[in-house]
Each structure stands twice: as C-alpha cells, then as structure tokens.
Copies of this chain bind each other. A is one copy, B any other.
Amino acid sequence: MGRALKHVEIREYVRGLALESAPGVATPSERDLVDRFGVARMTVRQALDALVAEGVLERHPGRGTFVADRDRVPTAVTGLSQELARCGLVVETRTIAVRRLAAGPALAAAFGVEVGHQLWLWQRLRLAEGRAICLSETHLPAAMLPDLVEQPPPSLYAALEARDLRPTWAEDTLSARTATEAEAALLEAAVGEPVLCRHRRATRGQLGIEVTDTVFRADAQPLQITLRG
C-alpha cells in the first residue's frame, strides 16, 4: 500500500477541518501546518492551492485562510442524484428500460467510436416526494460496463467512480420544448406542456463515457449551476 503524498495528506486533513467547520471559520495558518506536518511551506501551499481552486477555502492576505460558503462552490461534473440532493431533494430513481443499441453517426461521434459500436440505452424516471421530476435516456459504452443490465445501480456516477470511470469533463446543452405524448405520460404531465431539456456529453480524458438526454417537468426543481471567474 503506497504512502500518501504529503500535499495530499495535508489537503485531506484541511478538507476535513473545512467540512466540519462553519463558513468563515479560519483554518490553521500556513506556518502552523508547516510545523504540524514537518514540511516546507511550498508543500503546504500546494495543498491549500488545490482547496482554494475547488472553492472550499478562501485566502485573505494579511488575515488568514477561511472556509468558503458552501453554496459558492462551483458546480462540478456530477450525477443528477447528487445535483438534486445539493438542492435539498431526496430523489427516487426507477429504471424504465435497459437495452443495447448500435451507435448511429451522432452517438459514434460523441463517444469517439465507429458507427455500430454497442451501447447501453438506460431509461430512468426520477421522483421526489412521489412526484415525477425528470426522465433520462443515458447512453454508455456497453463494453466498458458489461454488467450494467444485470443490476442497474442506484447512482450512475457512484458506479462509474467505483470503476475509476468518473467523468472529468462534461458539456451540457440546455433548451426548452413541449413534452411529447410518451414523455407526458411518464412525467404525469399534459401533452404540450413545456419541458426543460439537458443534453450531456461527458468524457474522462479522451474517453467518451456518457451521453444523456434529460427532460425536466417545468414545475420541477429548476437546475442550478454555479460558475466562477
């Protein structure tokens, strides 16, 4: 078992402090951490730089380093379950269908594979407090996740994380339209009601991981995205 890098060890120590502290609380000073871990100051700064870049900490020259507001942390690539949980919703997920299909030109381009490559198509309905929120159609490379159909996981991103396939990059395209008949039936909405659509393409490095189209009811919890500078 490999020993953790020093800057990682310090980073996770300070992250732990930040998570159990209220926003605005000061973290140990850089020189305190130098003494505590017996490292050079540049190593401590490397650890803190990462947490500042993540939005977990804020530095104030001359004053110190402080825990940042939680709701100011920028949005990262995560699954809808976590995104909605962040907005305070407990989400139930129902798998509507899982089947294989051959990639057409658009999906093949999105995944960077040849036309005809085998993909999973996984349809899910999400509910909060018994009411339908959204309907998703997720495409995944079948060869990468051969066992998906046998036991659909409660959270896609948790399952990807466990296989070291968590996306590191995603492009979301947002639009609005009216619900189709099939969507309206599953979302318990009226045909022609407006819906919010999100098309997501997610990769890990150059590796295509996920293409998902999600259709949200207009009166559901809206999508929140936090950006930085």
Question: Could you tell me which A residues sit within 8 Å of B by CB distance?
Answer: 42, 49, 53, 71-72, 75-77, 167-178, 194-196, 216, 218, 222-229
Contact = CB atoms under 8 A, between A and B. Distances in A.
Given A42-B42, A53-B53, A194-B194, A75 B227 contact: yes
B222 A171 contact: no
Number of copies: 2
Contact of A171 (B77, B176, B177, B224): B224
Nearest to A55: B169
A214 B49 CA distance: 35
- Which of A42, A53, A196, A225 has the most chain B CB within a 10 Å cutoff? A225
13 contacts: A53-B53, A77-B227, A169-B226, A169-B228, A170-B226, A170-B228, A172-B226, A173-B222, A174-B196, A176-B176, A176-B195, A176-B218, A178-B194
Given A168-B228, A176-B176, 9 more contacts: A42-B42, A170-B228, A171-B224, A172-B225, A173-B224, A174-B223, A174-B224, A176-B218, A194-B195
Nearest to A179: B194
Contacts of A177: 194, 218
A13 to B, nearest CB: 21
A195 B218 CA distance: 10
A174 B227 contact: no
B77 A229 contact: yes
A140 to B, nearest CB: 18
Contacts of A42: 42
Given A53-B53, A194-B194, A223 B173 contact: yes
Q: Which 4 pairs, one residue from A and one from B, show the smallest C-beta to C-beta distance?
A: A194-B194, A175-B222, A176-B196, A176-B176
